Amino acid sequence: MLRRIARRIRRELLRRGLKVGMYYGDLSTWTDLTRDEYVDHLRFTIGGFLSPGNVEAFEYCLRNMPTTGAIVEIGSFLGLSTNIIAYAAHKYRCPNAFFTCDPWVFAGSEKPKAGYFSTATREYRDWVTRLYKMNLALFSSPFPPFTVEAFSDRFFELWNANAEVTDVLGRRVRLGGTISFAYVDGNHTYEVARQDFLNVDDYLIPGGFVFFDDSSDDAIYEGLQQLVAEVASKSNYKLILKTPNYCFQKT
């Protein structure tokens, strides 16, 4: 009984959230990932911030992106979005390799919260990275995505050099090649997010997608709003989804 009530409440919240979303393109064959029980389990189990509309964008992009080129996530935190993307790629039989990067250096971490705790401590960072690795190894087994502990600029330097690196789970992997889908969820300042987009754009193939977290019209990050307006004005990018965060397809 409690489980049915919880599901009913969740579906109502999703329904209300969808009212602010706008969709572009053919969704007639869309299977609703937001009602997938495994995704529900991930959302209940793994910490992190992820709007319901993001899950819908992940599904649309993974089901419609080119089968050549990699999936790239910039910013992973505890691995909520990472594991959902990995699961969706498995569910829809995407052959694309999946790479993520995160330096686990937190914005505003130098400011203690009410004099009680600071995320600048090494203990906090170690706790976050340890949980991320555990979440990745458990929920995305047996094929967890490759995660490079690096700022996004450094990650793309390595990508451009086709460098062989060791990921956070101790696996050797070679970076580089084209990109089919990029989820940009790193530093939310205009300068950094713009550079992330430019880095992605260098490798994103026609038909590929780039999706910006926290870019909705009412988000507090004015830099991201400025950035998505610039992307929308480009002749080779088309607004595909607004859920309410912005997702573009390269033409």
Q: For residue 14, name the pLDDT band (cuts at 50, 70, 90).
A: very low
Could you tell me if residue 216 is inside a domain? yes
Could you tell me if residue 23 is inside a domain? no
Could you tell me if residue 226 is inside a domain? yes
Q: What is the CATH number of the domain that holds 116?
A: 3.40.50.150
Residue 70 has pLDDT above 80, yes or no: yes
Q: What angle do CA 9, 13, 17 make, to 5 degrees?
A: 170
Residue 7 to residue 198: CA distance in whole angstroms: 40
Could you tell me if residue 1 is inside a domain? no
pLDDT the model gives residue 86? 96
Mean pLDDT of 47-75: 94
Could you tell me if residue 22 is inside a domain? no
| Structural domain boundaries enclosing 94 | 35-250
pLDDT digits (tens, 9 = 90+) for 126-170: 999 999 999 999 999 888 999 999 999 999 999 999 999 999 999
pLDDT digits (tens, 9 = 90+) for 16-60: 443 333 333 444 444 588 888 899 999 999 998 898 899 999 999
Q: Residue 247 has which token pair?
A: 């997702």
pLDDT the model gives residue 96? 97
pLDDT digits (tens, 9 = 90+) for 161-210: 999 999 999 999 999 999 999 999 999 999 999 999 999 999 999 999 99
pLDDT the model gives residue 170? 96
Could you tell me if residue 75 is inside a domain? yes
Residue 97 has pLDDT above 90, yes or no: yes
Instruction: List the beta bridge partners of residue 209.
Output: 181, 249
Could you tell me if residue 67 is inside a domain? yes
User: How many domains, in total, are found in the chain?
Assistant: 1
Could you tell me if residue 61 is inside a domain? yes
